[in-house]
Amino acid sequence: MSKAVLLFLVIVLAGANLALLMFGREPARVRTVAAPAVPEMQAAVAPSRLATTAERAPAPAPTKVGTVPAPAVVTPTEVVDGELTIPVQGIAAAQLHDTFNEARSQGRVHEALDIMAPRGTPVVAVADGTVEKLFTSVPGGLTIYQFEPTGHYAYYYAHLDRYADGLQEKQAIKRGDVIGYVGSTGNADPSAPHLHFAIFELGPERQWWKGTAINPYPVFARSR
């Protein structure tokens, strides 16, 4: 057999083997592994956040503690329903001078209103009430203690020259009634006759010689 034939046969056999390798068997396939099914995720929970003022539930109202009403504040205008008559006849409010806080002898405070007037000028009741006590003392001289109808307040008239005729303890008097006359008895200066007038808020004992002083001046000043 010639060399050419042998070479041809070799080429044919080589081609057949190559074809067999390429087409004679199924090429290996790359296996793809499917990813495992992911279960459906539950709805995400929104992160917690601070509630806005509008979203917050209103705080429960605090429990109210029972309170006792404060006692009524006593003002001078409540003494006689907002008005007192100036106790010295013929004296106007514009003539008065507030002497309530002025210093007096022995380091005391005056706690009263001095109303200057000529000796013998009529002194009148500032309001309705009762003559509780007619009393003569070293500092006050000839004095009158009057209780107003409720008994909560006492009106004090001092340094009188004399009482009105017939005036007696426990006697009912009316606003404007003459009850005495301006003088300078007691420790008053004889050359400066005047009425020493005071208002006292009484305690529950209703004792005419005790009480808390109230300044009369603002009461009379309101009538200007």
The mean pLDDT values, 10 residues at a time, for the chain of 224 residues are 62 57 44 44 38 38 38 38 84 91 74 95 96 95 95 95 97 97 96 96 88 91 65
Q: Is residue 172 part of a domain?
A: yes
Tell me if 27 is assigned to some domain: no
pLDDT for residue 27: 41
pLDDT value for 83:
78
How many CB atoms within 10 Å of residue 93? 13
Is residue 42 in some structural domain? no
**Residue 130 placed within a domain:** yes
Give the pLDDT confidence score for residue 206 in this predicted structure.
87
Number of domains in the chain: 1
**Can you read off the two tokens belonging to residue 206?**
């209703």
pLDDT for 66: 38
pLDDT at 217: 92
pLDDT of residue 205: 86
The pTM of the full predicted model, rounded to 2 decimals, is 0.63
| CATH (domain of 193) | 2.70.70.10
**Residue 66 domain-assigned?**
no
Residues in Cβ contact with 158 at an 8 Å cutoff, skipping those fewer than 6 apart: 112, 137, 139, 140, 141, 142, 143, 186, 195, 196, 197, 198
Please indicate, yes or no, if residue 11 is contained in any of the structural domains: no
Residue 49: predicted pLDDT:
37
Range(s) of the domain holding residue 170: 79-221
